[in-house]
Amino acid sequence: MPEAAFTLAAMRAGGTYATGDRSSAEAVAAKLGRRVVEVEAHGSTASLALGFADGYEPNPGEDVFSVRRLSPIPLVALATCIGLCWTELDQPPYPGAAVSLDLVLKVATELGAPHSHLLGALRNELTMSRLVEMDETTVRLGPAVGAWTDAQVDALRRFADSLPGANV
C-alpha cells in the first residue's frame, strides 16, 4: 500500500510517473473512481498517468463537485493545440503531432486572442496542468490528454473538425 500511495502521489504531482507498482496503484485508484493509464510520451518509454474512471468524470453541471475550468484564453489555446496536433482522428489525441509554436499563436490570434496572453497560457496554465508540453519552438499535447476517458475522446471527436486549426 505505501508503494501505491507514493505512485499515485507522484502521478498527481508530476502528471506522469515512469515506474511503480501498477497493480496496487490501480486497485487503490479504482476505489477512488480513478484509473491508471499508460501513456507513451513522444517516442520515449511509457509512463503512468492518473485519469478518471469511466462514469466518474467530473460533471460541471453538478454543484456537489467543483470542477476547475479554464478561462477563455487558455481554452482557446488548448482548443487550437488539439485542432493542430490531433491530425489522425481515428487515433487517440495523445501524443499527437508536434506543431510550431508560431503556428499555434497565429491560428489562435486570428480568433481574437492577444498574442501575449496566449503565450502566457501555453507556458503557464496549460503546461503546468500537463495539457500541453512545449519547448522554445514546438507544442505538443500533454499526458493529461492521454488520461482522458474514451467517452471524453469520443465526444471531442464528434466536433474535432470545428476546432481552430483542424483544417490547416
- 164 and 111 in contact (C-beta within 8 Å)? yes
Where exactly are the structural domains of the chain? 2-52, 72-162
pLDDT digits (tens, 9 = 90+) for 133-158: 999 999 999 888 888 888 889 988 99
Q: What percent of the chain has pLDDT over 90?
A: 36
- 140 and 39 in contact (C-beta within 8 Å)? no
CATH fit for domain 72-162, picks 3.40.390, 1.10.357, 2.60.40, 1.10.10: 1.10.10
Q: Which tops the pLDDT comparison, 17 or 163?
A: 163
pLDDT at 137: 95
This prediction has a pTM of 0.69
pLDDT at 88: 92
pLDDT at 81: 95
**Residue 120 φ then ψ, to 5°:** -65, -40
**Residue 79 φ then ψ, to 5°:** -60, -40
Number of other residues whose CB lies within 10 A of the CB of residue 139: 27
pLDDT digits (tens, 9 = 90+) for 79-129: 999 999 999 999 999 888 999 999 999 999 999 889 999 999 999 999 988
Number of other residues whose CB lies within 10 A of the CB of residue 158: 8
Over 50: is that where the pLDDT of 67 sits?
no
CA–CA gap between residue 131 and residue 58 (Å, rounded):
17
The candidate with the shortest Cα–Cα distance to 56, out of 128, 147, 136, is 147
Residue 16 contacts by C-beta under 8 Å, 6 or more apart in sequence?
A: 39, 41, 47, 48, 49, 130, 143
Over 80: is that where the pLDDT of 131 sits?
yes
